[in-house]
């Protein structure tokens, strides 16, 4: 049986970062994934993810975001890959909406650069957007987007550079732990290690069933449209990312045109998808779904949904409170878990990798992760 210091299950966003940070600290790492590198079957694909610091979910996330931004820069430098574009971001809605009021609370509490823009000013500065007269926006210049597939590839490349063994197309069938270490079984072999890190994405309900946490896996659709008149007015120097909350609390989000004239503009609803599993998810995009998002955009970003180009399905793994689960497994002292990222986790990939390395090697971290305690439920 091959033996390692640490085994990492799942090599998507979080797992690839964990493998990178652990290997960089001198650990003999084995990484296992059921698919190929940077695959499109989980939650770390689709070409782009929003990054922002004025965090409406909770101001407690901001210190982690500040560190994550530092680590994004380090990951770009060390990998030689372009992973981020801080093109600016707008959080739009009624003044008392969670998207606006929550973002403002975090920005003010942590002294983050931001502007509060009236509807007329939003229309003047960002003419693609048509907020109603009662809506306002918080503009954050440090918001933008990150590239999920390129990020996973960067972390995997650096993990391998530091000596990690990375096995793809090798799904895990079971794992066990004892005071002496862990054993992980796949269809191909069994492996042992002193510690285990589990980053299962939407496979959390099966791989971490003994956590006792009610995860809900949700099907999400990312839509790509060719705007009327082409993408020139939607390039990153003219169009920020946006998250727009409208009644009754529905959020739609969108990006600039990232990939040239043929790439279109990506938009999606945030949450509200049907409950699914990794084995039963419907990967087709239904005409009614395309019509729904186009109708929602018609009055807000007229012309964006000019011609439908295609779509991608992905999965959110939600917790009941929509906060993450990061910590030592309460039943296994040598197992660390990171899951339940509830559709807003990718921007934290670098710092979660650092946290998982801390927890695995020392049992603690200086980062504030109390909000994510697996025992809170």
DSSP string, 32-100: E-SS-TT-SSSSS-SS-EEE-SS-TT-GGGHHHHHHHHHHHHHHHHHHT---EE---EEEEE-TTSIII
203's tokens: 């496979």
Taking the C-alpha atoms of residue 31 and residue 11, their distance in angstroms, rounded to an integer, is 7
Q: Which strands sit side by side in the sheet containing 144-146, from one edge to the other?
A: 49-51, 144-146, 84-85
Q: What percent of the chain has pLDDT over 70?
A: 100
Taking the C-alpha atoms of residue 112 and residue 63, their distance in angstroms, rounded to an integer, is 11
What is the structure's pLDDT at 69? 98
CA-to-CA separations, 251 to 137, 246, 254, in angstroms, rounded: 14, 6, 10
Side-chain half-sphere exposure of 161, counting CA atoms within 13 A:
12
How many residues does this entry show for the chain? 377
pLDDT of 272 above 90? no
CA-to-CA separations, 337 to 8, 100, 133, 246, 369, in angstroms, rounded: 10, 32, 45, 35, 13
The band of 3, judged by pLDDT with boundaries at 50, 70 and 90, is very high
Which DSSP symbol is given to 346?
Answer: G
pLDDT in tens, 300-326: 999 999 999 999 999 999 999 999 999
Angle between helical axes of 62-79 and 103-110 (0-180°, round to 10): 80
Taking the C-alpha atoms of residue 167 and residue 34, their distance in angstroms, rounded to an integer, is 9
Q: What percent of the chain has pLDDT over 90?
A: 98
pLDDT in tens, 101-132: 999 999 999 999 999 999 999 999 999 999 99
The band of 86, judged by pLDDT with boundaries at 50, 70 and 90, is very high
> What is the full DSSP assignment across 155-210?
HHHHHHHTT-EEE-S--EEEEEEETTEEEEEESS-EEEEEEEEE--GGGHHHHTGG
Q: Which residue has the tokens 């790509």?
A: 224
As a whole number, the mean pLDDT across the chain is: 97
Taking the C-alpha atoms of residue 319 and residue 316, their distance in angstroms, rounded to an integer, is 10
**32: which residues sit within 8 A by CB, 6+ positions away?**
7, 8, 9, 10, 11, 167, 170, 171, 172, 184, 186, 191
pTM above threshold 0.95: yes
What's the sign of the alpha-carbon dihedral 277, 280, 285, 287?
negative
The band of 262, judged by pLDDT with boundaries at 50, 70 and 90, is confident
42 neighbors 207 (Cβ within 8 angstroms): no
Side-chain half-sphere exposure of 343, counting CA atoms within 13 A:
27
pLDDT of 261 above 90? no
335 neighbors 208 (Cβ within 8 angstroms): no
Which DSSP symbol is given to 351?
Answer: H
pLDDT in tens, 136-171: 999 999 999 999 999 999 999 999 999 999 999 999
pLDDT of 247 above 90? no
Question: Omega before 248 cis (within 30°)?
Answer: yes
pLDDT in tens, 276-299: 999 999 999 999 999 999 999 999
What is the structure's pLDDT at 206? 94
pLDDT in tens, 60-82: 999 999 999 999 999 999 999 99
Higher pLDDT, 260 or 290: 290
What is the structure's pLDDT at 256? 98
């Amino acid at each position: 049986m091959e033996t390692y210091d640490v085994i990492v299950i799942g090599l998507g966003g979080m797992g690839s970062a964990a493998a990178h940070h652990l290997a960089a600290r001198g650990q003999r790492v084995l990484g296992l994934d059921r698919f190929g590198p940077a695959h499109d079957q989980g939650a770390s694909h689709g070409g782009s993810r929003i990054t922002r610091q004025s965090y409406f979910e909770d101001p407690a996330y901001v210190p982690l975001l500040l560190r994550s931004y530092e680590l994004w820069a380090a990951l770009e430098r060390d990998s030689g890959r372009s992973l981020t574009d801080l093109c600016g971001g707008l959080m739009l809605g009624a003044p008392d909406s969670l998207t606006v009021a929550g973002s403002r609370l975090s920005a003010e509490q942590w002294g983050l650069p931001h502007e509060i823009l009236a509807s007329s000013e939003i229309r003047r500065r960002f003419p693609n957007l048509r907020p109603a007269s009662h809506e306002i926006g918080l503009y954050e210049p440090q918001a933008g987007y990150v590239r999920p597939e390129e990020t996973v590839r960067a972390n995997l490349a650096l993990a391998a550079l530091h000596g990690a063994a990375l096995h793809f197309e090798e799904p895990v069938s079971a794992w066990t732990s004892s005071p002496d270490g862990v054993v992980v079984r796949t269809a191909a072999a069994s492996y042992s290690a002193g510690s285990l890190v589990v980053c299962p994405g939407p496979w959390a309900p099966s791989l971490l069933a003994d956590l006792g946490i009610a995860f809900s896996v949700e099907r999400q659709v990312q839509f790509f449209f060719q705007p009327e008149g082409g993408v020139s007015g939607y390039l990153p120097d003219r169009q920020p990312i946006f998250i727009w909350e409208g009644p009754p609390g529905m959020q739609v989000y969108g990006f600039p045109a990232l990939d040239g004239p043929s790439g279109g503009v990506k938009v999606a609803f945030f949450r509200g998808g049907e409950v699914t599993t990794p084995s039963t998810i419907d990967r087709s995009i239904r005409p009614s779904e395309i019509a729904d998002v186009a109708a929602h955009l018609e009055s807000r970003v007229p012309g964006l949904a000019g011609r439908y180009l295609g779509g991608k399905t992905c999965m959110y793994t939600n917790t009941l409170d929509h906060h993450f689960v990061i910590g030592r497994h309460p039943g296994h002292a040598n197992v660390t878990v990171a899951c339940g990222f509830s559709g807003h986790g990718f921007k934290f990939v670098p710092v979660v990798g650092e946290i998982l390395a801390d927890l695995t090697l020392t049992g603690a971290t200086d980062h504030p992760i109390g909000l994510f305690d697996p025992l809170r439920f």
